[in-house]
Amino acid sequence: MLKSITGAVPALLLALTANASAQDYPTRPVTMVIPFAAGGPTDVLGRIVGQRMSEVLGQQVVIENVGGAGGQIGSKRVADAAPDGYTFVLGTVGTHAQGQTLYKKPVYNSVTEFTPIALLAEVPIVLIVRKDLPANNFNEFVAYAKANQAKMQFGSAGPGSASHLGCVLLNYVIGTNITHVPYRGTGPATQDLVGGRIDFLCQAITAAKPQIDGGNVKALALLDARRSPALPDVPTAAEQGTRGLEAYTWNAIFLPKGVPAAVVTKLNAAAVQAIKTPAVRDRLTAIGAQVASDDRATPQYLGTFVKSEIEKWAAPIKASGVSVD
């Protein structure tokens, strides 16, 4: 009896301490892991939202870019981090849905090893090509790709990233087999596209827009059901006669599994307040992000959404025949 009481007291103390520190959270800087290199869409969105979250939380949100393996390395780091709320990942459709099917042995389970916090935004993908590629619309691109596929290369943010799967889907739909060049993020891949070292990218609009507007690359098709108000002159692939080519990414915050409920509530509230701040919302909208509505920015919604996104992408990934060991 005495033994069980003495065993119970430290456990109770630990629980009380954890609870007290969860109530005070955060008392020091919080790390946002961007699982891709700087300059890509995840980094762009993370920096805009992270700056406002710092103000709301009263603690710095420190951005750490941990690229590699299509975002699996940075995400794994967060899955394995202490479940105290001080390390979170800005996940994507690639890191938390597509990679689960694409990798033969995923390094984590995105449903059981993370605590969903908030969906922040959904972002369409646009097909951008080097500016001297001899194609000025989607049909010319398809004709050129069919004739020149053996010498062409597309870049991506690595196996299982949204940019990779977007172009896997593109190859599948138009019937080409073009060499994939993986980068640590589409930031560096875009630099190589601008430099003419690769031929095309399926890039999230938020990072593609400045390059398109600056005339550094050509945008040939939006891979979405509708045109984007951020790129009103870029027609969709469907408008140009090719259906079934819809690719996108999203950004959402995840903590490791086992975080105290009080931390979940506080981090979610900070994220929601950040994306609802008019200046933040306007900036995100201007670069083509579709900011999550209140009902989609909850931990419960994100938990269900991740499961449905894994299911949704499993069939096209399997059909494409592409997988990674």
CA separation for the pair 186, 54 (Å, rounded): 26
Instruction: Give yes or no for residue 98 binding ligand MLT (CB under 6 A).
Output: no
CB under 8 Å to 211, separation ≥6 — which residues? 128, 190, 193, 194, 217
Determine, following the binding rule CB under 6 A, whether residue 206 of this chain makes contact with ligand MLT.
Answer: no
* Selection from 107, 65, 108 nearest residue 89 by Cα: 65
Q: What is the DSSP letter of 26?
A: -
Q: Does 185 bind ligand MLT (CB under 6 A)?
A: yes
What is the Cα–Cα distance from 97 to 109, expressed in whole angstroms?
Answer: 10
Candidates 92, 100, 115, 298; binder of ligand MLT (CB under 6 A) is 92
Task: Say which residue the tokens 């430290």 belong to.
Answer: 10
Contact between 65 and ligand MLT by CB under 6 A: the answer reads no
Q: Of 128 and 157, which has the nearer Cβ to ligand MLT? A: 157
Among 26, 40, 74, 182, binds ligand MLT (CB under 6 A): 40
- How far apart CA 64 and CA 38 sit, in angstroms, is 9
Tell me the closest approach of the beta carbon of residue 89 to ligand MLT, in angstroms: 12
Nearest distance from residue 29's CB to ligand MLT, in Å? 22
Is residue 220 within a helix (H) or strand (E), and if so which, with residue range? strand 217-222
| Token couple for 190 | 């875009």
Q: What character string, x for contact with ligand MLT (CB under 6 A) and - otherwise, covers 289-318?
A: ------------------------------
Closer CB to ligand MLT, residue 204 or residue 223?
204
CB of 9: closest distance to ligand MLT in angstroms?
A: 48
Which residue matches tokens 């592409």? 322
In whole angstroms, what separates CA 82 from the centre of its chain? 22
Candidate residues 97, 157, 173, 310; the one interacting with ligand MLT per rule CB under 6 A = 157
Report the interface residues with ligand MLT, using CB under 6 A: 36, 40-43, 92, 94, 157, 161-163, 185-187, 204, 249
